[in-house]
Amino acid sequence: MTLSPMRFKSYVWPHNPRTYEIEFRRGIVTHKVPFGAYTLQNLGRTNRVLRGEGEFCGVGAYEEFKKLASVFYEDTPGILVHPLWQTANAYFADLSLKEVPTQDYVSYTFEFWECFDGYESGAVKVSYSGGTSLTAASAGKTSGKSWYTVKSGDCMWNIANACGLTLAELVALNPQVKNPNLIYPGDVLRTA
């Protein structure tokens, strides 16, 4: 099985990192009660954390690490596309060298923290129009937002290109799409 390369914002790994680990978190609080007992309160799920390690080897290895580091220095979250897990909006939280780098070998660790920015946008009314495809309540635009109904043969890259967007921008506008490689006819995508 050939895996697609991991990518974050504009950076695409030349080969996938060696190890991955994903941590699912839940907030739990302990409350003391009289006579030395306690009770636990479940505060619900929190962010997922993706961490791992990898190497860059060969001519230009240190230059490749510098490209990755320049993406780390950007202060905003971005779309993290992992070859196995669902696509997520995330912050690049940590990048560390494991040993002294050389021009042809760099060993590093990384960590991404998933973020959810869905609180910034309001709900959009979507209704069925006949068969199985969904269409936005208004034809094409709803309060300054544009929508596109996926047709057979479409892919996210072609849709982004036709709408004058980058793939990352289209993915960012559609957090409901868990894997940008899997869209189906009838899906409705936000394009503006």
The model carries a pTM of: 0.57
pLDDT at 37 over 90: no
CA proximity to 81, closest of 161, 186, 156, 1: 156
Residue 4 to residue 12: CA distance in whole angstroms: 10
CA proximity to 61, closest of 108, 19, 109: 108
- Return the ∠ at Cα 179 (arms to 56 and 153), rounded to 5°: 115
In the block, tokens 């609180």 appear at 119
In the block, tokens 């230059």 appear at 63
- Residue 175 is predicted with a pLDDT of 86
In the block, tokens 């050939």 appear at 2
- Please count the other Cβ atoms lying within 10 Å of the Cβ belonging to residue 48: 17
pLDDT in tens, 39-62: 888 888 888 899 999 999 999 999
**What letter would DSSP give residue 102?**
B
pLDDT in tens, 139-175: 344 456 788 888 888 888 888 888 889 888 998 898 8
User: What domains can be seen in the chain, in order of their start residue?
Assistant: 7-114 (2.40.30.200), 122-190 (3.10.350.10)
- Residue 88 is predicted with a pLDDT of 84
Token output for 185: 């006819």
